[in-house]
Structure 1
Amino acid sequence: MSEKKPKKVFMEGPIPPEKIAKSIANHQSKTNIGAHSIFLGQVRADEIEGKVVKGIDYSAYEDMAEKAFHEIRESAFEKYDMTCCHIYHSLGMVKTGELCLFVFTSSAHRKVAIEACEYLVEEIKANVPIFGKEVFEDDSHKWKVNQ
């Protein structure tokens, strides 16, 4: 792994759509990029045991999670010829319909950007210690095992 400084991944609350638009706009000056791939994770209003989810309250072992994010990001750079990679994940309450995960990859070519984005999402879901507590409309809750 390289000795790059880890980037801050977590943000409190939902990921604002304006952050995504700004990330895209910031890459217009990088003329060596030919493709971007974006994954957006959104909280669903699932019905579980007759109750409807109104949001997910995310928590994490932040130091461990930030380290895992960094390792996954660096492994993606080793595996794929990416130009840029940005990852953001929510902490705290995120209501249904709001965004909780933003993965943004850039490359000279679309196939690389798409494959790298998919790789990152799957690695994050499998290996980062983030926990979600589903909060129902009646304010009861249930821990969500795999997000």
Structure 2
Amino acid sequence: LLKDMDKVEETSKDIIKFTAEKLSVDDVSQLVTSPLCGAISLFVGTTRNNFEGKKVISLEYEAYLPMAENEIRKICSDIRQKWPVKHIAVFHRLGLVPVSEASIIIAVSSAHRAASLEAVTYAIDTLKARVPIWKKELYEESSSSWKRNKECFWATNS
């Protein structure tokens, strides 16, 4: 039976999720694990406690979900054309994300490390440039400010 299991070709998966729940690196990593792969690369973006000298308490994320999911699917498709990867998972948190918690986890599995490492870098860079997700920083002194990604294609160079 085990010999037959080795012959089963595993279908590649793209797993995309937006959630208000706390993200788990272990759970996302498990989703891309495959016996065919010797590498899993992860990018975990977390809330830091400062921005330009202000103390940040938390971040708040909003997304235009239909377009955001569609853009991430395109990014997964781009990755598959560029690198021989197996599974891709992109989880993004919405709503309030306290300091030190993950706002995004991207995981990619591949037979060898170069493909998964390059794919994860491409995924986060491209996501920040193309995906309609907005971030609001909440500061200790009770002010807040919406941020745009400097990488966005719709950002002007003013």
Alignment match, 2:108: 105
Q: What does residue range 1-147 of structure 1 map to in structure 2 within 5 Å?
A: 7-15=15-23, 19-25=24-30, 30-48=34-52, 51-146=54-149
Q: Distance in 1 between matches of 2:134 and 2:31?
A: 31
In the TM superposition, residue 14 of structure 1 has moved relative to its aligned partner by 3.5
- Deviations along 1:44-92, one digit per CA (max 9) or x if unpaired, are 11143x5311111100111111111111111111211001110001110
Larger radius of gyration: 2
Identity %: 32
Please tell me the residue identity of whatever aligns with 2:28. Answer: S
**Which sits farther off after the overlay, 50-59 or 129-138?**
50-59
In structure 2, do the counterparts of structure 1 residues 79 and 27 end up closer, same or farther at CA, with 3 Å as the change threshold?
closer
- SS of the aligned residue for 2:94 comes to strand
Please tell me the residue identity of whatever aligns with 1:138. Answer: E
In structure 2, do the counterparts of structure 1 residues 76 and 26 end up closer, same or farther at CA, with 3 Å as the change threshold?
closer
Q: Distance in 2 between matches of 1:74 and 1:95?
A: 32
Please tell me the residue identity of whatever aligns with 2:70. Answer: K
Q: Distance in 2 between matches of 1:66 and 1:146?
A: 18
Aligned pairs, number:
139
Root-mean-square deviation (CA, aligned residues, Å) is 2.2
What TM-score, normalized to structure 2? 0.79
Q: Distance in 1 between matches of 2:30 and 2:13?
A: 24
- Deviations along 1:97-122, one digit per CA (max 9) or x if unpaired, are 11001000000000111011111111
**What stretches of structure 1 of length at least 5 have no aligned partner?**
none
In the TM superposition, residue 21 of structure 1 has moved relative to its aligned partner by 1.2
